[in-house]
A = this chain, B = another copy of it.
Amino acid sequence: MDGIEAYPSILSPPSLAVVIEQRGSPDEVARVIELPPVEIKENEVCVKMLASPIQPSDINMAQGVYPIEIPFPAVGGREGVGEVYAFGSAVKGLSLGDWVIPLPPSLGTWQTYVVKKESAWHKINKNVPMDLAAVVSVNPLTALLLLDDFAKLNSGDTIVQNGSTSNVGQCIIQLAKLRGVRSINIIRDRAGSDDAKERLEKLGADKVYTESQLQVKDIKSLLGPLPEPALGFNCVSGNSATLVLNLLRQGGTMVTYGGMSKKHVTVSTSAFVFKDLTLRGFWLKKMMIPERIQDTKVLVDYLLSLMQEGKLKYKSDLVPFDKFPTALDKALGKLGSHPKQILKF
């Protein structure tokens, strides 16, 4: 067209990527391949990835057992942090070298260069450690919303949770502590449970019990001077959820956000009728809809500020990208128990 000059098209570098080729166990269907350069359109940003975690939901999506479907073949990973490497002519809010995270989390972070629309990226403070920035938008955000969205907690109140050694569980302990809220934490009976107890107490846990320690007649006597919890969190289900319910006070609420035992939640009729318990569920996806994403970004920035100040820790292993197969095996639980595996590009 007269008078309008087309911008020269710009291309991303070739990208080394973990591609999930089809539905299946990720250790069988994931392949590391080099993808050719792609065009960066005018409203798109090419990000050089710095770090990206392997989350259980990534594994479940590859397996096809998660309510978000992958259009196979697809590059895996939905969370992480990267550095702005190049962008199209219509991009106004980012500069080269800025740190960004995909928010809402979106597919394709397990690769060296990712091209997405500017609106898919959220600029963050570069002073946050990379391993923390890479994981802020799922586990810590879940913990924050669990604490804030289901009951009004005041300083001095108590919460109870199971699966307390999980990453969300550890974030709950720390975020509760910051609010003056006391936490009662249930962990599995297994070798090393004493170490786990000590680790959680260092993070700020007020009480830590193994499931078997809670198999007592008067479970409430264990609370001592702590007020009975009005809010409980369940990511295990089965008997472990029953323990949470038993510890809740009259009129309390249990929020289920996971089911690691793969068992159901079982509740007596009287717990509903006479104890007036409420059972609810939480899925982070609800916070990622367009209507709520601005609020979500504010919460993520708050969490990043806590991380920067050293007030919110998150245990992980930063693993070089070329060790992806081993990191995946660890994430799959094939090599025993390991901290969150985060790929470092």
Using a CB–CB cutoff of 8 Å, the interface residues on chain A facing chain B are: 67, 237, 255-259, 264-283, 286
Contact = CB atoms under 8 A, between A and B. Distances in A.
B282 A279 contact: no
A191 to B, nearest CB: 26
A259 B269 contact: yes
Contacts of A279: 267, 272, 278-280
B278 A283 contact: no
Contacts of A269: 237, 256, 258-259, 264-265
Contact of A281 (B259, B272, B280, B281): B272
A276 B281 contact: yes
User: Considering residues A267, A269, A281, A282, which has the most beta carbons from chain B within 10 angstroms of its beta carbon?
Assistant: A269
A266 to B, nearest CB: 5
Contacts of A258: 269, 273
A286 B250 CA distance: 12
7 contacts: A67-B274, A258-B273, A264-B269, A265-B267, A266-B267, A272-B280, A273-B283
The 4 closest A-B pairs by CB, nearest first: A259-B269, A272-B281, A256-B272, A279-B279
Contact of A265 (B237, B257, B266): B266
Nearest to A259: B269
A240 to B, nearest CB: 11
A276 B275 CA distance: 22
A230 to B, nearest CB: 15
A280 B278 contact: yes
A230 B297 CA distance: 31
A243 to B, nearest CB: 15
